[in-house]
Amino acid sequence: MEQENYLQSLLSKPSKSFQDMESFAEEHNIPIMEPLGMNFLMQLIRMQKPERILEIGTAIGYSALCMLEAYPAARITTVERDEWRYKEALKNIENIEAGDRVSVIFGDALETGDQAREEGPYDVLFIDAAKGKYEEFFHLYAPMLKDDGVIITDNVLFKGYVADDREASPRMAKIAGKIRKFNEWLVKHPDYDTTIVPIGDGVAITKKKSSHS
């Protein structure tokens, strides 16, 4: 915890627009990426320089706009099934005047594959939606990536409960169990290389194996 607090103390202060989104998310109990995890994601985006990003789980648009700030040349397609969050995301995107670079698809991500495919192929796939559906999202959307694309998955350690769920509520333990199963499936996948980084709530970075290896 001391190490985490130290690292957070090194983070630069976000702009007022992003501070407002963070306050709004906290006030309305909307899950957004933790500061250290978001800082890590933004650095990955800066390094990858993706032309097109696909995000599963828009919420209020916070992550999409952070990724855009990290690499303003990107075009982002993001999917949200909750109508109220979808509308809030549109407002935030408009406030930052990013409507020409971020498009939001309204609907269940397991049913919006055709719409998302139209805007691909993608350089980065970011999965941060219903935790019990991660493997289904992966199956549906990973094929929309370019061969050298990267898949980034948030919350793969889920509050520490994936490693040890003895103090979790039954609901949290159930979610942790699903994520644990996903992690094991992902790291053993014969077509992908994955590493899990214990930052924020746990971030998995996955890349397709080279056909030459």
Q: Read out DSSP for 131-152? A: GGGHHHHHHHHGGGEEEEEEEE
The answer to whether 153 and 44 have CB atoms below 8 angstroms apart is no
33 is an annotated ligand-binding site residue: yes
pLDDT tens, residue by residue, 29-54: 999 999 999 999 999 999 999 999 99
Query: How many CB atoms lie under 10 A from the CB of residue 107?
Result: 14
Predicted TM-score (pTM) of the model is 0.94
Instruction: Classify 57 as helix, strand or coil.
Output: coil
Judging by beta carbons within 10 Å of its beta carbon (0-12, 13-18, 19+), is residue 61 exposed, middle or buried? buried
pLDDT tens, residue by residue, 190-209: 999 999 999 999 999 999 98
**Would you tell me which CATH number, out of the four given (1.10.1740.10, 2.60.120.260, 3.40.50.150, 3.40.190.10), belongs to the domain 2-156+195-208?**
3.40.50.150
Which H or E element spans position 4? helix 2-10
What pLDDT was estimated at residue 163? 95
As a whole-number percent, the residues of the chain with pLDDT over 90 amount to 93
Bridge partners (DSSP) of residue 122 are 145
| DSSP designation for 78 | E
Asked if residue 134 has pLDDT above 70, the reply is: yes
Write the CA distances from 164 to 13, 94, 197, 204, integer angstroms.
33, 41, 17, 18
What pLDDT was estimated at residue 213? 47
109 is an annotated ligand-binding site residue: yes
Write the CA distances from 37 to 112, 149, 197, integer angstroms.
27, 20, 9
What pLDDT was estimated at residue 210? 81
pLDDT-based confidence at residue 212 (cuts at 50, 70, 90)? low
Per-domain boundaries in the chain = 2-156+195-208
Question: ∠ CA(199), CA(202), CA(208), 5° rounding?
Answer: 110
What pLDDT was estimated at residue 24? 96
The values of phi and psi at residue 87, to 5°, are -65, -40
116 is an annotated ligand-binding site residue: no
pLDDT tens, residue by residue, 42-98: 999 999 999 999 999 999 999 999 999 999 999 999 999 999 999 999 999 999 999
63 is an annotated ligand-binding site residue: yes
164 is an annotated ligand-binding site residue: no
